[in-house]
């Protein structure tokens, strides 16, 4: 599948209940995680990059210094799907695909994002999904042809229902290092990533 512009949607609106502090503002190598994620997306060549913020929006907005678009999602308490919709609706019409990026994978590399793009272009499939040790993980790339389906997703989930309904559409890309796709959901997760 050929593609021109591929966007990044940075999902940074949640309140990090399990962690106990806002993960977007955790410091990794001198940068808040939200800024680290934005820089990684830009380094990978994603264009545009849209950061969707919600909880403590003013603080998170102030932490983003990278040249990305910032969209505030007032419905963020209703779950991840509302941020996904806000990000998709902010994309210009000439975007051919978008990578949904979590804010809480500090070890995620631009190389992995580029590998998703390469797989999408080469495979002819409309989804390029990350895996770690054979298990599905974030981030995931979706072709524009699936945006309408993604806009129908509700609740505290992202693109998983679209992938579950159409597994044959997914080209899987295995991470080189399992820590690269590890999410920060708890303090133990954060410590493991720091120690890694």
E strand or H helix that includes residue 188: helix 187-195
Residue 164 three-state SS: helix
Long-range Cβ contacts of 69-77 (<8 Å, 24+ apart): 73/13, 76/13, 76/14, 76/15, 77/15
pLDDT tens digits for 59-82? 999 999 999 999 999 999 999 999
Mean pLDDT confidence for 99-128: 96
pLDDT at 13: 95
Of the listed ranges 3-7, 26-30, 130-134, 138-142, the one predicted with least confidence: 3-7
- Residue 16: what pLDDT? 84
pTM for the model: 0.94
**pLDDT confidence bin for 54, thresholds 50/70/90:** very high
Sign of the CA dihedral with 33 first, then 43, 10, and 38 last: positive
Classified as helix, coil or strand, 127 is strand
Residue 3 has pLDDT above 70, yes or no: no
CA gap 46, 184 in Å, rounded: 23
Q: Where are the domains of the chain?
A: 5-195
pLDDT at 57 over 90: yes
Residue 1 has pLDDT above 80, yes or no: no
CB atoms within 10 A of CB 119: 18
Q: Would you say 86 and 52 are in contact if contact means Cβ atoms under 8 Å apart?
A: yes
pLDDT in tens, 142-187: 999 999 999 999 999 999 999 999 999 999 999 988 889 998 888 8
99 close to 7: Cβ distance less than 8 angstroms: yes
Distance from C-alpha of 25 to C-alpha of 13, rounded to nearest angstrom: 11
DSSP state of 170: E
How much of the chain exceeds pLDDT 90, in percent? 82
As a whole number of Å, the CA-based R_g of the chain is 15
CATH C-level class of 5-195? alpha beta
pLDDT in tens, 80-113: 999 999 999 999 999 999 999 999 999 999 999 9
Q: Comparing 19 with 157, which gets the higher pLDDT?
A: 157
């Amino acid at each position: 599948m050929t593609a021109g512009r591929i966007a990044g949607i940075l999902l940074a609106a949640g309140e990090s209940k399990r962690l106990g502090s806002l993960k977007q503002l955790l410091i990794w190598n001198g940068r808040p995680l939200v800024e680290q994620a934005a820089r990684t997306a830009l380094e990978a060549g994603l264009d545009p990059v849209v950061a969707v913020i919600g909880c403590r929006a003013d603080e998170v907005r102030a932490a983003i210094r990278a040249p990305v678009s910032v969209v505030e999602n007032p419905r963020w308490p209703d779950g991840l799907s509302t941020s996904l919709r806000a990000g998709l609706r902010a994309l210009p019409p000439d975007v051919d695909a978008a990578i949904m990026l979590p804010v809480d994978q500090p070890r995620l590399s631009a190389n992995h994002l580029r590998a998703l793009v390469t797989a999408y272009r080469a495979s002819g499939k409309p989804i390029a999904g990350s895996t770690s040790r054979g298990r599905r993980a974030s981030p995931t790339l979706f072709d524009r042809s699936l945006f309408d389906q993604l806009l129908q997703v509700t609740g505290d989930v992202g693109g998983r229902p679209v992938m579950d309904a159409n597994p044959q559409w997914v080209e899987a890309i295995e991470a080189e290092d399992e820590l690269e796709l590890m999410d920060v959901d708890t303090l133990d997760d954060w410590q493991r990533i720091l120690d890694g």
